[in-house]
């Protein structure tokens, strides 16, 4: 297989877990894997992509590329495609990735497939499997164009961790004023040790918690598990929790290995944002709560009795 280019997305100088998944996905495809990274990133962090399967990293360290300006990233990636002669571009599916992928596809005349969940089947064409309808169905797509862009769904592949250090080369894309016509004037970042979109474990609470004063046990359980905290839309609408913790179709869509829903009834909009999780656990005193139909495991009981016991059990296992 020919050269594969991977867009490695970073935050505060660190590569996202999903970007390491994208590099690992490309490595599993075979061929020469080159990653492209933008902004202020330490040499050791750039080299670490080799552990995930990248042989080389092109680094454009211009400070103007720290903010994630979509048009500038798309232009730079198009030039990286030309420089490396890559026929395939891989990136993680994210809010930034989605916007860049569409523009890049138009620039280089490529076929685009998002939410990809498995490696391409090249036995008869170039067929990728995509998750659709909020992860309720799958579709196989034959990508017929010469150049192809694949946006990989979170947690679709295991991260490769048996490589070495990647070679890092300076990359200086030719960017003009039109690439920075949109100015980012303010960025509000979610707070917390573990950010919700990147979390592998999530503990989420709903109106069953009865008020913001009872959120300590959600945070304690999350802390013991090393998980991020989330909430249902009504909780964020009432101001119990910040809006960046709102999980659901109109909030943050998550795909962790484990999602624990406490006191959340399971409205269809919430389920649409969490049903890509590998394991769903529901804790609710209402045995008819819709969440139980989607959950892999369920506990019918009062959260104020169940959660403290669960915290004690996790603490005991951590000792």
> In Å, how far are 76, 78, 172 from 62, measured between CA atoms?
11, 17, 8
Domain co-membership, 212 together with 306: yes
Task: Specify the pLDDT at position 300.
Answer: 97
Domain co-membership, 227 together with 80: no
Residue whose C-alpha is closest to residue 317's, from 261, 277, 309:
309
Query: Is the confidence at residue 165, as pLDDT, over 60?
Result: yes
Point out the least confidently predicted range of 36-50, 184-198, 239-253.
184-198
d(CA 132, CA 270): 16
Task: Specify the pLDDT at position 164.
Answer: 87
pLDDT bin (cut points 50, 70, 90) of residue 154 is confident
Query: Is the confidence at residue 39, as pLDDT, over 70?
Result: yes
Say which CATH number the domain at 16 has.
Answer: 3.40.50.620
pLDDT one-digit tens code per residue, 127-152: 999 998 877 889 999 998 789 999 99
Handedness of CA 271, 273, 276, 278 (dihedral sign): negative
Domain co-membership, 89 together with 52: yes
User: What residue numbers does the annotated binding site cover?
Assistant: 207, 263-270, 284
What mean pLDDT is predicted for residues 159-175?
93
Domain co-membership, 120 together with 8: yes
Domain co-membership, 225 together with 141: no
pLDDT one-digit tens code per residue, 68-86: 889 999 999 999 999 999 9
User: What residue numbers does the annotated binding site for FAD cover?
Assistant: 207, 263-270, 284
Say which CATH number the domain at 296 has.
Answer: 3.40.50.1220
d(CA 196, CA 199): 5
Tell me if 115 is assigned to some domain. yes
Count structural domains, the chain.
2
Domain co-membership, 21 together with 153: yes
DSSP string spanning the chain?
A: ---EEEE--EETTEE-HHHHHHHHHHHHH-S-EEEEEESS--HHHHHGGGGGT-SEEEEE--GGGSS--HHHHHHHHHHHHHHHT-SEEEEE-SHHHHHHHHHHHHHHT-EEEEEE-S--B-TTS-EEEEEETTTTEEEEEE--SSSEEEEEPTTSSPPP----PPEEEE------GGGG-S------PPPSSS-GGG-SEEEEE-GGG-SGGGTHHHHHHHHHHT-EEEE-HHHHHTTSS-GGGBBSTTSB----SEEEEES----HHHHHHHTTSSEEEEEES-TT-THHHH-SEEEES-HHHHHHHHHHHHHHHH-
Tell me if 185 is assigned to some domain. no
Work out the angle at residue 238's Cα, subtended by the Cα atoms of residues 232 and 242, and round it to the nearest 5 degrees. 65
Task: Specify the pLDDT at position 199.
Answer: 87
Query: Is the confidence at residue 188, as pLDDT, over 80?
Result: no
What mean pLDDT is predicted for residues 222-249?
94
> In Å, how far are 65, 121, 141, 259, 272 from 291, measured between CA atoms?
42, 35, 31, 12, 11
Tell me if 187 is assigned to some domain. no
Q: What is the mean pLDDT of the chain?
A: 92
Domain co-membership, 36 together with 142: yes
Domain co-membership, 58 together with 201: no
Q: Which of 180, 209, 240 is the last residue of a domain?
A: 180
Q: Which of 147, 180, 213 is the last residue of a domain?
A: 180
Domain co-membership, 245 together with 145: no
Query: Is the confidence at residue 192, as pLDDT, over 70?
Result: no
What mean pLDDT is predicted for residues 289-307?
96
Domain co-membership, 85 together with 207: no
Task: Specify the pLDDT at position 250.
Answer: 87
How many residues in the chain? 319
Residue whose C-alpha is closest to residue 3's, from 27, 19, 38:
27
* Contact (Cβ atoms closer than 8 angstroms) between residue 128 and residue 141: yes
User: pTM of the full predicted structure?
Assistant: 0.81
What mean pLDDT is predicted for residues 38-46?
96
Query: Is the confidence at residue 190, as pLDDT, over 70?
Result: no
* Contact (Cβ atoms closer than 8 angstroms) between residue 260 and residue 251: no
d(CA 141, CA 126): 8
Domain co-membership, 277 together with 161: no
Full domain range(s) for residue 34: 4-180
Residue whose C-alpha is closest to residue 56's, from 69, 37, 71, 30:
37
Domain co-membership, 258 together with 144: no
Residue with token string 């890559």? 86
Q: Which of 180, 205, 229 is the last residue of a domain?
A: 180
Tell me if 191 is assigned to some domain. no
């Amino acid at each position: 297989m020919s050269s594969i280019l991977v867009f490695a997305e970073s935050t505060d100088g660190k590569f996202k877990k999903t970007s390491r998944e994208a590099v690992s996905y490309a490595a599993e495809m075979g061929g020469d894997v080159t990653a492209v990274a933008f902004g202020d990133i330490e040499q050791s962090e750039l080299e670490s992509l080799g552990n995930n399967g990248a042989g080389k990293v092109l680094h454009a360290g211009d400070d103007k590329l720290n903010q994630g300006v979509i048009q500038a990233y798309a232009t730079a990636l198009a030039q990286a495609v030309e420089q490396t002669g890559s026929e395939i571009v891989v990136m993680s599916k994210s809010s930034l990735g989605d916007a860049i992928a569409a523009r890049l596809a138009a620039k280089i005349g490529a076929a685009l497939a998002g939410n990809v969940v498995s490696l391409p089947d090249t036995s008869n064409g170039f067929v990728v499997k995509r998750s659709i309808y909020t992860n309720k169905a799958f579709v196989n797509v034959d990508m017929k164009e010469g150049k192809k862009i694949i946006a990989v769904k979170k947690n679709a592949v295991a991260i490769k961790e048996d490589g070495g250090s990647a070679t890092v080369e300076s990359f200086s894309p030719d960017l003009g004023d039109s690439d920075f016509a949109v100015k980012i004037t303010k960025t509000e970042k979610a707070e917390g040790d573990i950010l919700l979109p990147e979390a592998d474990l999530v503990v989420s609470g709903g109106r069953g918690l009865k008020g913001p004063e009872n959120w300590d046990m959600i945070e304690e359980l999350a802390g013991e598990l090393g998980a991020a905290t989330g909430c249902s839309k009504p909780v964020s609408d009432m101001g119990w929790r910040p809006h960046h913790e709102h999980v659901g179709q109109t909030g943050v869509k998550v795909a962790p290995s484990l999602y624990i829903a406490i006191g959340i009834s399971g409205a269809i909009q919430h389920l649409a944002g969490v049903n890509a999780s590998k394991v769903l656990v529901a804790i609710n005193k209402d045995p008819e709560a819709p969440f139980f139909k989607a959950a892999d495991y369920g506990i019918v009981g009062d959260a104020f009795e169940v959660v403290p016991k669960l915290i004690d059990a996790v603490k005991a296992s951590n000792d």
